[in-house]
C-alpha cells in the first residue's frame, strides 16, 4: 500500500470512531503505532494529514560520476 492509501484508510477509520490502537491492529502492523498516533493528532488538530516531507529515503540519481 502506498502512503496516500494508508492516509485515506487511517483518516476514514479515525472518522468512524476507531482509536489509534484499533487502527494499528486492523492494519496488522503495516504502519507504526507512533505514526498512527501522530496522524490521528494531525486529524484532530487540522482535519487532515499533512506530511512535511515525502516518505522514504532521499531521491538521487546514480550516475557514473557518483559511483
- The pLDDT of residue 55: 66
Could you give the CA distance from residue 39 to residue 51 in angstroms, rounded to a whole number? 9
- The pLDDT of residue 66: 63
Question: Domain containing 28: what range?
Answer: 3-46
| Domain-located, residue 54 | no
- The pLDDT of residue 40: 93
Kindly report the pTM of this predicted structure.
0.68
**Radius of gyration for the alpha carbons in the chain, expressed in angstroms and rounded:** 15
| Domain-located, residue 56 | no
| Domain-located, residue 66 | no
| Domain-located, residue 58 | no
- The pLDDT of residue 33: 92
Domain count, the chain: 1
| Domain-located, residue 40 | yes
- The pLDDT of residue 25: 93
| Domain-located, residue 31 | yes
| Domain-located, residue 36 | yes
| Domain-located, residue 53 | no
* Segments in the chain below pLDDT 50: none
Amino acid at each position: 500500500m502506498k502512503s496516500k492509501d494508508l492516509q485515506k484508510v487511517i483518516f476514514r477509520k479515525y472518522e468512524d470512531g476507531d482509536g489509534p490502537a484499533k487502527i494499528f491492529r486492523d492494519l496488522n502492523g503495516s504502519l507504526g503505532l507512533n505514526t498512527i498516533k501522530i496522524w490521528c493528532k494531525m486529524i484532530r488538530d487540522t482535519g487532515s494529514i499533512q506530511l512535511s516531507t515525502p516518505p522514504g529515503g532521499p531521491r538521487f540519481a546514480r550516475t557514473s560520476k557518483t559511483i
